A = this chain, B = another copy of it.
Amino acid sequence: MYSAPIKDIRFVFQHLINRAALQEKTGHDALSEELADAIFDEAAKFAADIIAPTNRDGDTKGAKHQDDGSVITPPGFREAYAAMGEQGWTAMDASEEYGGQNMPMAVSSFVHEMWQSANMAFALCHLLTQGQIYALEKYASSEQKAHYIPAMAEGRWTGTMNLTEPQAGSDLAAIRSMAIPEGDHYRITGQKIYITYGEHDMAENIIHLLLARTPNAPAGSKGISVFIVPKYLINADGSLGQANDITCVSIEKKLGIKGSPTAVLQYGDHGGAIGYLVGKEHQGLEIMFAMMNHARFTVGMQGLAISERAYQQAVSYAMDRRQGTPIGGEEGDTIIGHPDVLRLLASMRADIMAMRGLVGIGAAAMDMAAHDNSSEIQSRLGLLVPIIKGWLTEQSQQVTSSAVQVHGGMGFIEETGVAQHYRDARILPIYEGTTAIQANDLVFRKTIRDGGAAITSLLDDIHNDMMAIRGADADHPSGTTQALASRMMAAVETTRKVVDHLLASANSPRRGAANGHHYLMLLGVLTGGWQMVRGAAISDDMIKNEGVDKPFLETRKAMARLFITQRLPQIDALAETIITGDEAVLEIASDWLADH
């Protein structure tokens, strides 16, 4: 079972992001504490009561492909999606003009977190739909927007992204699907794979957003265009017309997220599927880039969500299971009394708090960037996105694995359910750009291209925040928040050396690429620690007041001490590897690797 972590979410929303400034800048009512609280409470109920109960069936029964090409989703999925629509949740991210609520991401991200924790395979459908709404709002014609967005906001239709082809995964330049102009539309032919919710029975219609080439388009990624290709064509009066020329050939048998149908779609076997150009021809790459921050951020948020779900199951098991008398404990104590189980669980919790802090500041940066095109705002967001996508999804591997470990032998039995989270999580560092792709983005586009300006500005901000917490005096008793800030300041200086090393190797790009993964992990720990120590300092202040939730604030402080002692030391190790280790990677001849 799942219970939304409302206290943590509120803390991040009210204290770690600059809620008031964001509300002033964007003018969104939902950013008021009262309204946001009400939204979080309702979402928590919906996630726990309506979505979470579908999670196990989603995994054990899975989505089923029928001989006629249709796909049946697991029991309960249809009803849950219908309820999302009826209660207005599917309208959250659309603009008011098209029937939406235009909710800022600083609020909606935590609602999405709850959906993803409750059932990641189910919640993917709306995540993709939301992504498409986001793209159409930005690039589609007014007519197209009016045509497609309202039904998606109502939850009657869903959206997909059709990028990948067998030879074109990370490399979109290799796309071969064709779009031949014909009157006001195009005829689409080709095969698309890994299409999440490419076919299913939860909606009346499915709107595919598809990448293809037009005749005589330039080679490579510059010749890609984006098309709307609906499953059912839409009549002038808005009613559904005939089926488009799209066949769902099969769905994949996957390691996890088995409730989510991953379709192979064949376009145009009977003359060409009808598609409509979005924006201009050859504008595909630009549109993809515009969607990228949003899509990558949401996958990072999934890393947080699946970690939270796995953590809750592990804590609940550890508070119930008896096995051996813990050292220093009493007979009958549950296994949470064993120091190593406590260490595992507390480290998971600290990781999750750090992850949620980053989701909060990332969401706020997305909202700011939508209202402010200044390079400062845009480049900060550009830096945060690969860190959030890369670090949170990699952390989710550790957290879900630790959740299995806490269960001992029971963790390996599928019926226990915790192995599902471990399997589900494994897609996260792969889709929407692997960790390596995030790392390359971080090193080359976000660090080297501007000569280190954006990263230096981030490091300065962290330094200044920590300095404000630590104060002028550098000596503080260990365990105090000031002492934690002091350790963070040292980590910032270590990171500056790493940045210098990367900038100095700008002319040897293979070196940057060999270091990228470690650099990303380093910045994940650093920015995570930043949020944890900020949270501890805020808790120090709040705890002096009456009427506050002191146990929760003490927990926040304890988790910051834990993160700084258990995680921050990785920064020294990663820095050492980056500064002394890239040569050892690059000298490897690939044929050595198969000679054993």
Task: Mark A residues whose CB is within 8 Å of B.
Answer: 3, 5-8, 164, 167, 169-171, 173-174, 194, 252-256, 315-316, 318-319, 322-324, 327-328, 336-343, 345-346, 349, 397, 401, 404-405, 408-409, 411-415, 419, 422-423, 426-427, 429-431, 434-436, 439-440, 478-479, 509-511, 513-514, 516-517, 551-552, 554-555, 558, 561-562, 564-566, 569-570, 572-574, 576-577, 580-581, 583-588, 590, 592-596
Contacts and interface: CB of A to CB of B under 8 A. Distances in A.
Given A254-B414, A584-B565, A593 B558 contact: no
A409 B440 CA distance: 18
A405 B430 contact: yes
Given A426-B404, A565-B577, A555 B413 contact: no
A568 to B, nearest CB: 8
B413 A551 contact: no
Question: Chain A binding site: helix, strand, loop or mixed by DSSP?
Answer: helix
Given A342-B585, A581-B566, A254 B514 contact: no
Contact of A342 (B170, B574, B590): B590
12 contacts: A6-B596, A167-B322, A252-B412, A254-B413, A254-B414, A336-B590, A339-B585, A340-B440, A340-B517, A412-B430, A562-B581, A565-B580
A360 to B, nearest CB: 15
Contact of A588 (B256, B323, B346, B436): B346
A255 B419 contact: yes
A405 B340 contact: no
A171 B194 CA distance: 45
Nearest to A314: B593
Contacts of A252: 412-413
A38 to B, nearest CB: 19
Contacts of A587: 558, 561
Given A430-B412, A584-B566, A596-B6, A513 B340 contact: yes
Nearest to A316: B594
A596 B8 contact: yes
Contacts of A336: 590, 593
B427 A412 contact: yes
A596 B5 contact: yes
Contacts of A5: 596
A222 to B, nearest CB: 15
Nearest to A574: B569
A521 B275 CA distance: 56
Contact of A584 (B434, B562, B584): B562
Nearest to A327: B509
A349 B509 contact: no
Given A252-B413, A569-B572, A339 B586 contact: yes
A414 B255 contact: yes
Given A327-B509, A422-B426, A514-B342, A255 B585 contact: no
Given A339-B510, A569-B577, 13 more contacts: A7-B596, A169-B408, A170-B408, A171-B323, A255-B413, A255-B414, A315-B594, A316-B594, A342-B585, A342-B586, A562-B585, A566-B584, A572-B573
Nearest to A325: B171
A408 B426 contact: no
B584 A479 contact: yes
Contacts of A404: 255, 426, 430
Contacts of A426: 401, 404, 411-412, 419, 422
A503 to B, nearest CB: 17
Nearest to A3: B596
A478 to B, nearest CB: 7
A493 to B, nearest CB: 16
A173 B323 CA distance: 10
Contacts of A478: 580
B595 A551 contact: yes
B588 A340 contact: no
A100 B336 CA distance: 46
B572 A343 contact: no
Contacts of A572: 569, 572-573, 576
A401 B434 CA distance: 13
A555 B592 contact: yes
Contacts of A170: 323-324, 408
Contacts of A173: 324
A430 B409 contact: yes
A325 to B, nearest CB: 8
B427 A405 contact: no
